[in-house]
Structure 1
Amino acid sequence: MIDKKILRFYYITDENAGSFTPFEQVKTAIKGGASIIQYRNKFFSSEHMEELVLIREFCKNRDVPFLINDNIDLAAKIMADGVHLGQDDDSPETARKILGKDAVIGATVSNLEELACTDLSCCDYMGTGPVFPTSTKKNAKPVKGPAGFKQVADKAPVPVVAIGGITAENALLCFEHGASGIAVISFISRAENPADNAHRLGLACELALTQAVKGKYE
């Protein structure tokens, strides 16, 4: 079972952030306190491999788990720490067989209907959203709000990471509604000051962890 603290500040790379490359994004996010990284690139090709290896090594040297989005074979090839799978990807069971018992495996579950028909027995966590409006994912499911997120999180058999429109200002609201972690993309990748946003988000996550230890929630 994954330590939920690892999920607290979850950064997902953005391949469409112009000159702010995924590698620079990851460095900025980790400096701000990111505790886990997911590499997401829907148009991945061999020309991206060099940067992917740089990101893997940067994360490894800082003891930050590094996951690949969707692609189990790529995760195995570059010896990533795990993979995150969507509803239309290969199953978590397949990922576990290929990547091994120590791999971190996550799955996207957007609503109660998907939760009812998704086998999470091989997963360490699941991601749910969008909690708030987001422009990063064009085909995102309907916004569920904190209350809708809580409905899914309360029934989940694994820790849940909130995603979608999350900022330093609303991160605590996600934790208070059952999130073990919050995942962000554009709050850092499309920010006017990415380093400042990463720092502020890190502080919000640290505050959430402190309050959880005190027993306020979680």
Structure 2
Amino acid sequence: MLSPERLALYLVADPDQTSGDFLAAIDAAMDGGVTAVQLRVKHGGDRRAYELALDVQKRCVWRGIPFLVNDSLGVALASNADGIHIGVNDLPLIAIRTLISPTFAVGYSPETDEQTIQARSAGADYLGLGPVFVTGSKADAGAAIGLEILSRRARLSDLPTVAIGGITLDNASAVMESGVVGIAVMSAILRAADPRDAAQRLIEVVRYARQT
């Protein structure tokens, strides 16, 4: 299970959504304050995902930062990841729980209020809520839910919740006011001219919001 502190600034690392060197950008982001990394590989198959996972996992271990894999339980287990993040169309939560250790973290992205409420009993450790805003980073993200629905779903669940989708330095403070424990970002860091600086600015916003 990941603590709320570990979910403060959650980097979704997609090699196809990075302006420059992918691994260098991840290194810089972690140096800037990223508290967890999820590898998301949608193109190139499991072999590419596995090879990247090994590289990213080593970097996370060295810094003591949790490493998760998007969707693929096989890649997550083979790369010795700390957890996995899934959506409603992936392997069911209850099935994943039968295949993993109790310490393996499982994140879940619900699409309805009902799924949000049922997530804990189904086996989720934390929730990714969104997309909050329109995002170009994920073609299948669905319609933006906005801040009102984000706030409602954050209150509906007693699990730690992380907001995702179109989050930038400009709107991160408003997102944190919804009651989530952290934000998940991709392009706001990976496409930044200086990923380290971008991460540093975002984590400052999150920490300030959590203190007020």
Corresponding position of 2:198: 197
Retained in 2: the 8 A contact 1:128–1:163? yes
Q: Give the superposed CA RMSD.
A: 1.8
* Amino acid in the other structure paired with 2:203: G
Q: Tell me how far apart the structure 2 counterparts of residues 18 and 29 of structure 1 sit (CA, whole Å).
A: 12
Retained in 2: the 8 A contact 1:111–1:128? no
* Amino acid in the other structure paired with 1:12: V
Shift of 1:136: 0.8
Alignment of 1:1-218 (within 5 A): 2-17=2-17, 20-43=20-43, 44-115=45-116, 118-121=118-121, 122-209=123-210, 211=211, 216=212
Q: Match of 2:120, SS?
A: coil
Retained in 2: the 8 A contact 1:32–1:201? no
* Amino acid in the other structure paired with 1:26: I
Residue segments in structure 2 that go unaligned for 5+ positions in a row:
none
Q: Tell me how far apart the structure 1 counterparts of residues 18 and 9 of structure 2 sit (CA, whole Å).
A: 23
* Amino acid in the other structure paired with 1:9: L
Comparing 49-58 with 4-13, greater Cα deviation is found at 49-58
Q: Once the two structures are superposed, what CA deviation does each residue of 1:53-103 show, in whole Å capped at 9, x if it has no partner?
A: 121011011110000000111111111001001111112222222221001
Q: Once the two structures are superposed, what CA deviation does each residue of 1:77-132 show, in whole Å capped at 9, x if it has no partner?
A: 1110010011111122222222210011110113325435x543211101011112
Shift of 1:175: 1.7
CA shift in 2, pair 1:45/1:63, >3 Å: same
* Amino acid in the other structure paired with 2:97: R
Comparing 175-184 with 43-52, greater Cα deviation is found at 43-52
Shift of 1:157: 3.0
Q: Tell me how far apart the structure 2 counterparts of residues 17 and 133 of structure 1 sit (CA, whole Å).
A: 16
Comparing 138-147 with 71-80, greater Cα deviation is found at 138-147
Retained in 2: the 8 A contact 1:37–1:64? yes
Retained in 2: the 8 A contact 1:92–1:120? no
Comparing 45-54 with 139-148, greater Cα deviation is found at 45-54
* Amino acid in the other structure paired with 2:125: D
* Amino acid in the other structure paired with 2:7: L
Retained in 1: the 8 A contact 2:18–2:187? no
CA shift in 2, pair 1:178/1:94, >3 Å: same
Comparing 172-181 with 107-116, greater Cα deviation is found at 107-116
Number of aligned residue pairs = 210
Residue segments in structure 1 that go unaligned for 5+ positions in a row:
none
> TM-score under structure 1 normalisation?
0.88
Shift of 1:19: 5.7
Q: Match of 1:202, SS?
A: helix
Q: Tell me how far apart the structure 2 counterparts of residues 39 and 47 of structure 1 sit (CA, whole Å).
A: 11
Q: Tell me how far apart the structure 1 counterparts of residues 65 and 50 of structure 2 sit (CA, whole Å).
A: 19
